Structure 1
Amino acid sequence: MNTYLLLKWLHILSANVLFGTGIGIAFFKWITDRSGDVRAIRIVTERTVMADWIFTTPAVILQPVTGLILVYLAGYPLSSGWLSYALLLYLFAGFCWLPVVALQIKMRNLARVADQGNTPLPGQYWRYARIWFWLGVPAFIALLGVYWLMVFKPTF
């Protein structure tokens, strides 16, 4: 089997898992938060944290590993315009994602306490949810940019 094509397949697959899981998780968490149903919010937030560990984290790791090996095998210099921009956008998305994961864990814990006590979610939950949402927007846009750069490979 061709090593380059296998790595390329893993790279594309992990990109799709990263993007698809990210947008799917974000949608279901955001729409469930809008319901105001504390039990549903707790369950979805718990599953959000779990899905990030099972799917998103391995994809986040696999992306740069396979990407850098592909770059080496294809002979692209790391300083080529499209590649350096893709790396910067990927790092930017990662810097948005790391606090998102921490916020999800904090929101999960707050939702558990509220659900167990049969009380409304505290204001802190909603503050975290707003920050979580607004960190997700630029991360999403950055990953769209990475996809565009990987497909079109413009010369700068």
Structure 2
Amino acid sequence: MLYLALKYLHVIAAIFLFGFGMGSFLYLIAANRTRNPQVIAHVCGMVVRFDSWITTPAGFLQLGTGYLLMKLAALPLDSPWLLTSLVFFIGVGALWLPVLVLQKRMHGLALSAVEQGLSLDDRYHHRYQKWLWVGICGFLGMFVVVLMMTTKLTPWQWLEMLLA
């Protein structure tokens, strides 16, 4: 029963991590396309809060429940899919901190532009471009992690199957 409860929490955490992360990502892209500093400041503030309060804790829950599931199932950490998914997950997590920092800075720049009645300057757009590409890399990594989580196969094993 404990295993099933942990598995449920693990899947829910993955849904929150992926769902809220992707939703925040797409909302901020849409807000940025308006070029309206007021819209961008508002949406960016919400994205920072949601990513801090929901997405980040879901990532820690994902890692914790994954570890406990591995222990309960007596899976060796060096099994290919598990080790590879952990490496990818840590890599995605390493991208997450810069994303949060960039979002907070973008929010501050957008708020400042609103307060001064200005348009967004190059500092904002430069940070937005970095945020966008780091986010794309992070989500590509998460797609791979979810693939491994659901199939227990590495990307290389998938490639072997597709090419065979």
TM class by smaller structure = over 0.9
Matched, 1:46 2:45: yes
**Amino acid corresponding to residue 119 of structure 1 in structure 2:** L
Q: What is the TM-score normalised by the length of structure 1? A: 0.97
**Amino acid corresponding to residue 103 of structure 1 in structure 2:** L
* 1:146 corresponding residue in structure 2: 145
Give CA-to-partner distance per residue, 1:11-57, whole Å, 9 cap, x none.
00000000011110000001110110110000000001011111111
Deviation at 1:122? 1.6
CA distance in structure 1 between the partners assigned to 2:35 and 2:51 by the alignment:
22
- The SS at the match of 1:22 is helix
Matched, 1:93 2:108: no
Deviation at 1:154? 2.2
CA distance in structure 2 between the partners assigned to 1:138 and 1:121 by the alignment:
25
Deviation at 1:138? 1.2
CA distance in structure 2 between the partners assigned to 1:37 and 1:83 by the alignment:
44
**Amino acid corresponding to residue 27 of structure 1 in structure 2:** L
5+ long unaligned stretches in structure 1: none
* 1:69 corresponding residue in structure 2: 68
Deviation at 1:143? 0.6
- The SS at the match of 1:77 is coil
Give CA-to-partner distance per residue, 1:76-123, whole Å, 9 cap, x none.
000000000100110111111110000000001111100011101121
* 1:118 corresponding residue in structure 2: 117
* 2:34 corresponding residue in structure 1: 35
* 2:160 corresponding residue in structure 1: none
* 1:19 corresponding residue in structure 2: 18
* 2:57 corresponding residue in structure 1: 58
- Provide the identity percentage: 35
Q: How many residues align?
A: 155
